[in-house]
C-alpha cells in the first residue's frame, strides 16, 4: 500500500477484506490469493449494506455464498449467476 497509495490518491486503502467490505453494496473478488479463499462470508455479509458477491475467480461455491446471504455472480463455467 505504501507504494500504491501515492499513485492512486482517490482510492481508500484499508488493512483487510473485512474493513473493505464494511458498508459496501457489493464485493468483487478479482484474485485467487489464499487470503481471499478463506474469508468468513457470513461475517462479511453482516457488515455490508448490500449482498452482492461478484466472484471473478470462481472461488466460492454457490451454496456457501447463498448460506451467507449473498447473491452470487460468477463468470464462466457452470452456474455463472445464482
Q: Determine, yes or no, domain membership for 41.
A: yes
Q: Which domain holds residue 81?
A: 21-82
User: pLDDT tens digit string along 29-71?
Assistant: 999 899 999 999 999 999 999 999 999 999 999 999 999 999 9
Q: Determine, yes or no, domain membership for 5.
A: no
Count of structural domains, the chain: 1
Is 77's pLDDT higher than 80?
A: no
Q: What is the per-residue pLDDT for 78?
A: 55
Q: What is the per-residue pLDDT for 75?
A: 83
User: pLDDT tens digit string along 1-32?
Assistant: 889 999 999 999 999 999 999 999 999 999 98
Per-residue DSSP letter, 8 = -
Amino acid at each position: 500500500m505504501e507504494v500504491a497509495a501515492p499513485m492512486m490518491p482517490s482510492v481508500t486503502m484499508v488493512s483487510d477484506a473485512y474493513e473493505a467490505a464494511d458498508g459496501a453494496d457489493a464485493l468483487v473478488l478479482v484474485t485467487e490469493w489464499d487470503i481471499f479463499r478463506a474469508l468468513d462470508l457470513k461475517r462479511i455479509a453482516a457488515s455490508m449494506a448490500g449482498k452482492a458477491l461478484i466472484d471473478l475467480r470462481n472461488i466460492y461455491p454457490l451454496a456457501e455464498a447463498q448460506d451467507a446471504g449473498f447473491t452470487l455472480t460468477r463468470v464462466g463455467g457452470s452456474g455463472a449467476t445464482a
